[in-house]
Amino acid sequence: MSLLHVNTSQKPAYVDLHIHSTASDGTLSPKEIIETAEKAGLRAIAIADHDTVEGSVEALQYQDSSSVEILSAIEISASVDYGAMHILGYLMRLDDTAFRRAVGVVQEGRVNRNRQIITRLQDLGFDISYDEVSGASGGGQIGRPHFAQVLVNKGFVQNIDEAFIKFLRKGRPAYVERYRLTPVDAMQTILQAGGVPVLAHPFTLNAKTEGDLDRIVAGLKQAGLKGLEVYYPAHGPVRTAQYESLAHRHELLITGGSDFHGALKPEIHMGFGRGDLRIPYRLVEELKQSASSSKYSD
Ligand code: AMP
Ligand code: ZN
Ligand code: FE
Ligand code: FE
């Protein structure tokens, strides 16, 4: 083939569909995230904050002045009695009243839980206040990583991991349950707002066998699941291949993202994870097709 036939405009375009901002427990603002994505040469991003769309709403205000395409997104923690189930939602109408109401109820549940976590930590003898944790969150929604950060800052633990292992994770003395949507309600909330529900990082379900995971995914698909987050820094080649075939078997879309949290997970780079993550733009086109063909979207 002659060099004349090489089309230089066809350089690969990569995306990152799983980014956290200061609206939840990321350390970069939506504006800083867009600037970072531009520098990284990404073609599209989605700010998928935990249980809030404030990050997406703010980012979309910069859409006209940015070369990076911005997709509305959220990451909802669903209630399951095994592992952790996170449902990503993409391309919802963010002004949908029922969607915003459901997310608002989840946020109230967080506020209640956060107050109880403070009481638990104080009962454990730590000098820690709600204002300090609120300060660590930068004014956005407070999550457990912010409690961990304050415990680190005040020298009560060495690092964030230690704070979770000793106090904040399930089964530890400062862990408090909070109100969560069921997996079905989380998916239906996303669907009825015209969005596309996707199962995030399937390994956190802690399914014991591939057969168990297959059955969980089949059940979710029946209840409206449209996609699987296959490309993710912690997956590695074996899990990535397993999840690709799982997605194909259940006719689910494939998505991917770095779960970028800024300084809270400094080893993770936007778009490229630990350096080897590559998420092609084609997946965004498939997401958009799914959203526009959804029976709920009109
Ligand atoms: P929350 O949604 O407030 O319950 O907090 C959940 C967040 O805590 C998620 O973003 C996780 O990434 C983070 N997290 C959970 N377990 C750990 C851990 N062991 N070490 C560090 N971060 C964690
Ligand atoms: Zn997070
Ligand atoms: Fe998650
Ligand atoms: Fe996440």
Q: How far is the CA of 9 from the centre of ligand 3 (A)?
A: 34
| 120-141 average pLDDT score | 94
Domain count, the chain: 2
Residues 132 and 255 in one domain: no
Please check whether residues 141 and 42 belong to one and the same domain: no
pLDDT at 2: 43
Q: Please identify, by atom number, the ligand 1 atom nearest to the C-alpha of residue 143.
A: 3
Give the per-residue pLDDT at 138: 85
Q: What is the 3-state secondary structure (H, E, C) of the chain?
A: CCHHHCCHHHCCCEEEEEECCCCCCCCCCHHHHHHHHHHCCCCEEEECCECCCHHHHHHHCCHHHCCCEEECEEEEEECCCCCCEEEEEECCCCCCHHHHHHHHHHHHHHHHHHHHHHHHHHHCCCCCCHHHHHHHCCCCCCCHHHHHHHHHHCCCCCCHHHHHHHHHCCCCCCCCCCCCECHHHHHHHHHHCCCEEEECCHHHHCCCCHHHHHHHHHHHHHCCCCEEEEECCCCHHHHHHHHHHHHHHCCCEEEECCCECHHHCCCCECCCECCCCCCECHHHHHHHHHHHHCCCCC
What is the pLDDT at residue 45? 98
Whether residue 117 is found in the same domain as residue 221: no
Give the mean pLDDT of 85-94. 98
Q: Is residue 34 domain-resident?
A: yes
Q: What residue owns the CA closest to ligand 1's atom 2?
A: 143
CA gap 170, 183 in Å, rounded: 19
Please check whether residues 223 and 253 belong to one and the same domain.
Answer: yes
Cα(145) to ligand 2 centroid in Å equals 8
Gap from CA of 5 to ligand 1 centroid (Å):
49
CATH number at residue 235: 3.20.20.140
Range from 21-25, 74-78, 251-255, 293-297 carrying the lowest mean pLDDT: 293-297
Q: Which residues surround ligand 2, an ion (CB under 5 A)?
A: 20, 25
> For residue 25, which atom of ligand 1 is closest to its CA?
10
Ligand 4 center from residue 121 Cα (angstroms): 25
The reply to whether the predicted model has a pTM over 0.75 is yes
Burial zone of 238 (CB within 10 Å; 0-12 exposed, 13-18 middle, 19+ buried): exposed
280 lies in a domain? yes
For residues 192 and 289, membership in a common domain is answered with yes
Residue where a domain stops, chosen among 137, 168, 199: 168
Whether pLDDT at 33 is above 50 = yes
Q: CATH code at 143?
A: 1.10.150.650
Average pLDDT estimate for 263-291: 96
Identify whether residues 205 and 155 lie together within a single domain: no
Residues 53 and 201 occupy one common structural domain: yes
Residues 224, 143 share a domain: no
The domain in which residue 278 lies consists of 15-96+182-293
pLDDT in tens, 190-240: 999 999 999 999 999 999 999 999 999 999 999 999 999 999 999 999 999
Minimum mean pLDDT range among 27-31, 134-138, 255-259: 134-138
Residue 177 lies in a domain: no
Residues 6+ apart with CB under 8 A from 163: 147, 148, 151, 152, 156, 157
Same-domain status, 262 and 130: no
